[in-house]
Structure 1
Amino acid sequence: MKQFIPLLISLLASCSNQSNENASESAEKPVIKPDSSYVWTKILDSADWKKNYNFQMFSNRDTLWTFHPDGNWFSTNGTNWTKSQLPNSIYNLAFLDYVQFNETILGLGHFEGNIEQFTFKPEIYKTSDFKNWVTISSLSNIPKRFFYHPFVFDNKIWIIGGEDKQTKYSDIWNSPDGINWTKQKENLPFGKRGGSQIVFLNGKLYLLENDVWSSTDGLNWQKVTDEIVKGEQIFGYSTQVFDNKIWLLGCNRNGQFSSQVLFSSDGKNWLTQNAPWLPRGGIASTVYKNKIYITGGKYGGTPNHPNFRYDNDVWTLEKKLFFSGLP
């Protein structure tokens, strides 16, 4: 028996040394953990549509669409675009919006002219094939106003506020079909306003202007914050929900458009990202295949830049994962 004891001790020592070597080798290997970052990529210097601002982009049926004053273009990759035979039904897209509803696009009204002299028709247009518009109502009771952004919630189309030649409004309307509209509430706590952006995130609607309000039913609203950026007036941006965050694209901050992007997961606490594209406002944007797409925009009208610059480049924002070794 004694003759096996040295052999046993030797084997145990060998196992111990091998274990220590394996542990040492394991300790020397870097631990790989993902670190996320948001990356902008320019995919087109100049798209097929004319440089302009205050038009729209949509993602519908696995296709990317640009709804432009001069017509509508579509693409499946964001790089190669085809002009559709579908025309612009609304006409002046600086005053009224299209809205995506149940895989169709509705044009809510027809606006010709400018704020001083214009013609408004309460006509409602609908396209299902993205080739032709069907006028589904020539005399809808849609509120005769502009500078609002319709949104879809609870299987209805909603309008909050907006303005006409005389005043701004502080009311809420909705419609199950875009034709028949019902006023649901007025004298809202955030007061009269036009141009507010409304998005849906984590069971809440967020109404964004310079301040932020939230609601779970579209009717009762609570203030989230008085200012998105303390001490600054923020406006003129396009809004998207991406990666469980609200994104503000093309902000005018204290009268100066910049290329800074603001984003937040709760509407109260905001972070800033410096984007590589030229400063602008009135951007067209949408989320398509896990990326934010932007195009268009306008910059200028300030003492330093009295002339306006318009854009038609196309950019994407995506979340990328980078792996790095940790000590």
Structure 2
Amino acid sequence: MMSRRAFLGGAGVVMLAGCGTASSRAVSPGRYRWSRLAAAGPFRKSYNFPVHVAPGGRFMLLQSEGCWSSRDAVTWERQPLPPSGSNMAYMQTIFHNGATWVLGRHRGDYLDFAIDPAIQRTSDWERWEALGQASGFPQVIFAAAASFAGWMWMIGGHRGGQAVAEVWRSRDGLEWEAMPSPPWSPRTGAKAVVFGGRMLVIGGGALDGPASNDVWSTDDGKTWRRDCAQIAPERPVGFVPQVFDDRLWLVGANRSGSFQSAMLVSQDAKSWQPVSAPWSARGGVATWVNGDRMYLTGGKHSHVERGQTVFVYSNDVWAMSRR
């Protein structure tokens, strides 16, 4: 089920048959280890926010209130960068060409909204550069976004009360080009990641409807192939994809309520293996890679107490490395 809480957390096609959680190249449980770097960061407990690795190796954590930086994920300093004015739950903030880009602003809610196509960028994380109003900017919320092959991409999303199957790209954030219609189903809240020289679109679905459970990839945004028809029987949602140690990790893949593993990992985006982790159950995490470590902070999960749903937010900081 793709709950809205998860967010407020002429194309060619090649079909590849068969995928699942069994693999002859399985990850050994003892191959990696997690270390808790901080029980609580100085930033707000939250979810669905990014951490970008700036040139020079600084970690830039961006929340709606502002920005924090660190070189070791242990000690964090507040940056002078003011809030962008964009709601990260609805719109995309991505890292592209050595800078953080904020793609548009949202007004309203998920049913009745307007998009302001204002494009902002920062490369010093002290001030925002207002680039202008974008032309042809996709009027969607909950889209996937990625930087790939010199372009910024927006994929899928929600418009007019339903999910869409659309792909757009831009080199400068100001001129957007619609790509041929993709062969995959309309989807809201999908995840996009670059892996193995291709751009992947993972999962997504309809708000308050069934979740997609597949993986599609492209090398040009025009021709797509289905790499995996079913990631896992439990149809995990709420995960964040990350590439580490030549593998693709879906971090925080237990937010559907029925899926209990902390992560799913694959070497080819076709066969997936569940992997546990010592941090608490959560989805909508922030994850980033620098050197020989994959980091994690933030996230959200819920449980029921006395008939009431209780939401729990996190700001502890963890790192995973090979043994």
Q: Return the TM-score normalized by structure 1.
A: 0.82
1:308 counterpart residue number: 311
Residue 289 of structure 1 deviates from its aligned partner by 2.4
- Equivalent in the alignment of 1:222: 225
The range that moved more, 126-135 or 255-264, is 255-264
Which residue identity lines up with residue 133 of structure 2 in the other structure?
A: S
With over 3 angstroms needed to count, the CA separation of the structure-2 counterparts of 1:96 and 1:302, relative to structure 1, is: farther
SS of residue in 2 equivalent to 1:308: strand
1:84-233 alignment, distance < 5 Å = 84-186=79-181, 188-209=182-203, 210-229=213-232, 231-233=233-235
Alignment deviations for residues 257-301 of structure 1 (CA, whole Å, 9 cap, x no partner): 645211001111111211000000110111122211111111115
2:281 corresponding residue in structure 1: 279
Matched residue type, 1:199: V
| Distance in 1 (alpha carbons) for counterparts of 2:285 and 2:156 | 21
Which AA in structure 2 matches 1:151? Answer: A
How many angstroms apart in 2 are the aligned matches of 1:233 and 1:300?
Answer: 18
The structure richer in helix per residue is 1
Does the 8 Å CA contact 1:90/1:109 hold for their aligned counterparts? no
What is the aligned-residue RMSD (CA, Å)? Answer: 2.0
Letter in 2 for 1:263: V
Q: Give the direction of change, closer, same or farther, for the CA distance of 1:301–1:95 in structure 2 (3 Å limit).
A: farther
Larger radius of gyration: 1
Task: Return the alpha-carbon distance in structure 1 between the equivalents of residues 304 and 125 of structure 2.
Answer: 39
Contact 1:174 1:181 in 2 (8 A): yes
- Counterpart CA distance in 2 for 1:36 and 1:201 is 24
* Equivalent pair of 1:92/1:113 in contact (CA under 8 Å): no
Name the counterpart of 2:244. 242
TM-score, scaled relative to structure 2: 0.83
Residue 261 (structure 1) aligns with = 263
Question: Contact between 2:111 and 2:161, CA under 8 Å: does it hold in 1?
Answer: no
Using the aligned pairs only, state the percent identity.
Answer: 32
Q: Is the 8 A contact 1:259 1:280 kept in 2?
A: no
Contact residue 49 and residue 70 of structure 1 kept, 8 A: no
Higher relative contact order (CA 8 A, sep 6+): 2
Paired residues in the alignment total 284
After superposition, the Cα gap between the structure-2 partners of 1:307 and 1:261, relative to the gap in structure 1 and judged at 3 Å, is same
For 2:315, what is the secondary structure of its paired residue? Answer: coil
Q: Which runs of 5+ in 1 are unaligned?
A: 1-34, 321-327
- The offset of 1:37, in angstroms, is 1.1
Q: Per-residue deviation at 1:214?
A: 1.9
Corresponding residue for residue 270 of structure 1: 272
Per the TM alignment, residue 159 of structure 1 is displaced from its structure 2 partner at its CA by: 1.2
